[in-house]
A and B are shown apart, each in its own frame.
Chain A
Amino acid sequence: MSKHTPEEKVKIARNPGRPGTADFIDALFTDFFEQRGDRQCREDGSILGGIARFHGRAVTVLGHRKGKNLEENLHCNFGMPGPEGYRKAQRLMRQAEKFSRPIITFVDTPGAYPGKEAEERGQGEAIAQCLALMSSLTVPVIAVITGEGGSGGALALAVANRVLMLEHAVYSVLSPEGFASILWKDASRSGEACSVMKLTAQDLRRGGIVQGVLKEPEGGAHTDWEAVFRTVDAALKKELAALSKLKGPALAQQRYQMFRAMGQNLSPAGREEP
């Protein structure tokens, strides 16, 4: 399906010319009403979200935002949320649950921000609560990994009924640089890390981590936004229609079982009861 090496894909996935969450919202949704703030202490620009219509239907849409120029990058902290961002996400998702709106998320982050204030305000707790909340929602949840799916900061918006991935997007336990520096104490071996990490959409589809791979135009998503929008729109429409046939508890159960099964078949021994 792809002639790019994993290392090249990481470069394409990080290309600042790729459409981001704001672009997908502009192109695929109407009546977008942005919701800001975590109602506790701060508005975190690295998560963009609100209510909008998708083909006429009210949905909650949210995702990581990196920004397109330096000013925006700084406002969005380069797409690295702090706990306030994850708490805003939780607030939006709780409302979606209350008003029975499907949730669509766009995932594109190097990871959650490793900063002093982020730790002070409970980065780990905020991500954990996102995972807990998403695992039990009774509305349809679809996640699209559009660029970089970095670590727990990405997973926090990706506990979905369907996880879709653009063809050249990547999704991994940590950035290849971080991976190389932890395992080999040498961040410059990130190229080597890319090839062992199985972080491409194709590898992840085979591993059962994502449920669909969305084709990108030749060269990558940055070369033809309209083509990407058409593909993502069609995929979201199809998945949403399929998920909408399920009732709330069945949606929660399907999502639960999908994540419950992850890595289960890798553990050879069966259950035991003493």
Chain B
Amino acid sequence: MNRFFTQRRDRLLTYQAMREGKITSTRRAPCPRCGEESSALDWSRSRQVCPRCGYHSPIGAYYRLSMILDPGSFQELEEKLEPADPLGFPGYAEKLSGLEEETGLRDAAVAAVGRVQEQKAVFVVLDSRFLMGSMGTVVGEKVARAAEYADRHKLPLVTFAASGGARMQEGIFSLMQMAKTAAVITRFQARGGLYVSCFTHPTTGGVTASFASLGDIMLAEPGALIGFAGPRVIEQTIGEKLPEGFQRAEYLLDHGFLDQIVPRDRWRAVLGQLLALHEREGWHL
């Protein structure tokens, strides 16, 4: 790959990552969990993990990719996919363009091909700043196309989920993305593809109930809320308060739904190890 393009892509990634990580800001910000203030510099040094209590705060998709991928290896896939408004839902189009301006994203997912410790893989990362990372047709289509790309090129697939579930504004078309992503991932896996699914805070609803729960390997960040129904809905349904730690990554690990919990600064090492362990003839890492 031409060095000029490599550098240009890296600059773009760094720009997006800075924008998301607020690396340049000098203000102090309180932790949403423990309430303790830390300087923006400390937050960024710890990759947006609270330096006091270890709370893993949600981060943007490009920022996450920038800290996982080998420098110069990032190539975005399907970046031109744009959301549609199949229901003609009042106010949705304006909301989308406002969010694009605010986040630089066209929808709630970024797909890319890149390398982790020299090993090539396809990534889909959801971004909770964009309508809670909800899955509409673009998120579903990106997951599907990423899995198809991985299948064609015999590469592993890694997803990072962060999602409130199906995108309400796209109605039934969002629901169908659950069936679509599950179908494409299942086919990819049946043909020998490795799928690593990583949950980040928070992931609920239709994303938990589709592709994100189908990983050959299932991982999560510490403290991530992971569930089908959200805690408020459950509390309303059963009429009682949920215990501390309910639906958190540690709880899911105890109940057998995760392989491991991976702190943010360990993703590169863990993914690198997993990809290396799956190196096989005919599959390019």
- Which chain A residues have a beta carbon within 8 Å of chain B's beta carbons? 112-116, 118-125, 127-129, 131-132, 134-136, 151-152, 155-156, 159, 171-174, 178-179, 182-183, 196-199, 204, 207, 209, 255-256, 259-260, 262-264, 266-269, 271-274
B48 at interface, CB cutoff 8 A:
no
A-side contacts of B183, CB under 8 Å: 131-132, 135-136, 159, 255-256, 259-260
Determine whether B179 belongs to the interface, using a CB cutoff of 8 Å to chain A.
yes
Q: Interface residue tally of chain B, by bracket?
A: 35 or more
Known pairs A131-B182, A262-B177, A267-B137 / 16 extra A-B pairs, C-beta < 8 Å: A114-B228, A116-B242, A119-B246, A136-B186, A152-B209, A156-B209, A173-B206, A182-B168, A183-B169, A199-B171, A207-B173, A262-B179, A263-B170, A263-B173, A269-B81, A274-B77
- Whether the Cβ atoms of B78 and A272 lie closer than 8 Å is yes
**A207→B86 CA distance, assembly (Å):** 9
Q: Chain B residues near A273: list those with CB within 8 A.
A: 149
Sample 6 A-B pairs with CB under 8 A, ordered by A number.
Answer: A114-B237, A128-B213, A128-B214, A135-B187, A209-B176, A260-B184
| Bound Cα distance from A272 to B212, whole angstroms | 24
The 9 closest A-B CB pairs, nearest first, are A114-B229, A124-B208, A263-B137, A135-B183, A131-B182, A269-B80, A266-B84, A128-B213, A262-B176
The interface bits of chain B over 161-178 (1 if a CB of A lies within 8 angstroms of the residue's CB, else 0) are 000001011111111111
Per a CB cutoff under 8 Å, which of A119, A155, A271 touches B179?
A: A155
Flag if A135 contacts B186 (CB, 8 Å): yes
Comparing B11-19, B140-148, B262-270, the segment that makes contact with chain A is B140-148
Decide: A263 and B177 in contact? CB cutoff 8 A: yes
Given A124-B209, A124-B228, A132-B185, A152 and B141 contact (CB-CB distance below 8 Å): no
B172 is contacted by which of A159, A171, A178 (Cβ under 8 Å)? A171
Highest count of chain A CB atoms <10 Å: which of B149, B178, B204: B178
Residues of B with Cβ closer than 8 Å to A?
75-84, 86-87, 89-90, 113, 136-138, 140-141, 144-145, 149, 166, 168-180, 182-187, 190, 204-206, 208-214, 226-229, 233-234, 237-238, 242, 246-247, 255-257
Question: Out of B136, B175, B226, which one reaches A172, CB within 8 Å?
Answer: B175
Contact A124 B169 (CB under 8 A): no
Query: Is A267 a contact partner of B179 (Cβ separation < 8 A)?
Result: no
Bound state CA distance, A128 and B184, in angstroms?
12
Query: Across the interface, do B168 and A173 meet the contact criterion of CB distance under 8 Å?
Result: yes
How far apart are the CA atoms of A174 and B234 in the complex, in Å?
15
Contact of A267 among B76, B141, B186, B227 (CB under 8 A): B141
Contact A122 B179 (CB under 8 A): no
Name the distance in Å between B154's Cβ and chain A's nearest Cβ: 15
Report yes or no: A274 in contact with B113, Cβ–Cβ below 8 A: yes
On chain B, the residues within 8 Å of A262 by CB distance are 173, 176-177, 179-180
Cross-chain contact of B180 among A120, A182, A198, A259 (Cβ < 8 A): A259
Asked whether A151 lies within 8 Å of B175 as measured between CB atoms, the reply is yes
**Nearest chain B residue, comparing its CB with the CB of A274:** B75
B228: chain A residues within 8 A (beta carbon): 112, 114, 118-119, 123-124, 127, 152
CA of A174 to CA of B210 in the docked complex: distance in angstroms?
15
Nearest CB of A to B94, in Å: 14
CA of A270 to CA of B170, assembled, Å: 20
Q: B192 → chain A, closest Cβ, in Å?
A: 15
Tell whether, in the assembled complex, residue A173 and residue B172 are in contact, meaning their CB atoms are under 8 Å apart: yes
A172→B234 contact, CB < 8 A = no
